[in-house]
Chains A and B, each alone.
Chain A
Amino acid sequence: MAIISELVKGIYRENPVFRLALGLCPTLAVSTSIENAIGMGAATTFVLLGSNIIVSLLIILFAKILSEEGQKSINKIRIPVFIVVIASFVTVVEMVMSAYFPALSESLGIFIPLIVVNCIILGRAEGFASKNPLLPSIADAIGMGIGFTLALSAIALLREILGSGAILGYSIMGESYKPVLLFILPPGAFLVIGIYMALLNWLDARKKQS
């Protein structure tokens, strides 16, 4: 049961973008169209899964080979260690993908360099995987990945309709529609994220009252 709750929490209750406000930088860049949102979401979920697994295993390894006092002092350098682990993992994924899966690399390749600086990855490694065993860490990664993808898609839906008059690249607003350029640019993303956050908070507040 606990595993399922770890999985579900990332989707609504602790949604990385709307609740934790993590990974806003790639969110601004990539949520201009639904196609990009899904691509970025899939790539992030994959890297998140890998980094959560490695960090979780690394902590178990440290617990096995180090004394209690040693573990305490190692704690001071956990962040640089996580950064090295995540950056290496992302680079390995990028190299393997462009060598063996050219089609995949073509569609996801441009998102990979953005993932290195995606603070969701470091946030979950530090906030969850380093304090929890392997299985919950995997569930957390998948849940957070899905939550991130859904949030990106929700933002992208609004931005694509307003900013390009299209959904998934298909024009729906007709020829006469003049796209609101602002929504394709980063300020538009801030506006949309703000609107969604306000909406979610309003829903919560209403729930509390009733």
Chain B
Amino acid sequence: MKNIIRLSVVLTIVTVVAAWLLAEIYSVTKPKIEIQKLAKTHKALDYVLPQAKLLVPVTSQVPVMNNKGDTLFERQVIQYYKAYADTDTTHLIGYAFKAEGTGYSSLIETMVGIDTTGHITSIKIISQKETPGLGALSENNEAFNGKRWSTNQFDGKTSNDLKVDKDGGEIVSITGATITSRSITNSIRLEMEKLLPRLGITPAKNSKES
């Protein structure tokens, strides 16, 4: 009996100390990590819409509810960005948005740029923690040669084209990482299908020929 108490006391002390240490370091590093994330988002925006001089975030209020369904407060969430060619809002050149999908072992965030007709200008993977050597190859952005996955293969595509080869589409998936490829492709398609009608881009305008 005495033994059991001693063991639980030691184990409790060890775990409490570890938890306290983690909490302390988490609260110190959290704001720094947020800043790094923001810098990464900006770099990605610059990559997917290089001609944009001005980016205006379009936000919406998302209610945060408790488990009884009462609204506690409203949170501002960036839905997408409007991109302008000059420093004023006269010449709209496109939009950028973030697509999120669950891959094989992590949440994959992708920044997507589209022009005013709904064609993708460029995409960039912002964060992923997929298997190194397999799913992690999703970040590859070398020139697309038609055989190997590259984020460049999305350029010029519309939401209707977004399907991986295993599902009968034309997106070349990563060898040995179909789940990752499918997750990225589908997350972009779903986000575009949601966003394009809101932007007033009709399916007719969004056809392959335009």
Point out residues on A near B: beta carbons under 8 Å.
29-33, 36, 39-40, 70, 73-74, 76-77, 80-81, 84-85, 87-88, 91-92, 95-96, 98-100, 102, 109-111, 113-114, 181, 184-185
Contact = CB atoms under 8 A, between A and B. Distances in A.
B129 to A, nearest CB: 5
B133 A36 contact: yes
- Main SS of chain A's interface residues? helix
A96 B30 CA distance: 9
Given A95-B33, A99-B29, A184-B175, A111 B6 contact: no
B155 interface: no
B136 interface: yes
Contacts of A113: 129
Interface in B1-35: 3, 6-7, 10-11, 14-15, 18, 21-22, 25-26, 28-30, 32-33
The 3 A-B residue pairs with the shortest CB-CB distance in the complex, in nearest-first order:
A32-B133, A99-B32, A99-B29
Interface of B: 3, 6-7, 10-11, 14-15, 18, 21-22, 25-26, 28-30, 32-33, 36, 39-40, 128-134, 136, 175-176
24 contacts: A29-B131, A29-B134, A30-B133, A31-B133, A33-B133, A70-B6, A73-B7, A74-B10, A77-B7, A80-B11, A85-B14, A85-B18, A87-B18, A92-B21, A95-B25, A95-B26, A95-B33, A99-B33, A99-B36, A102-B36, A110-B129, A110-B136, A111-B132, A184-B176
A137 B11 CA distance: 23
Nearest to B133: A32
B205 to A, nearest CB: 38
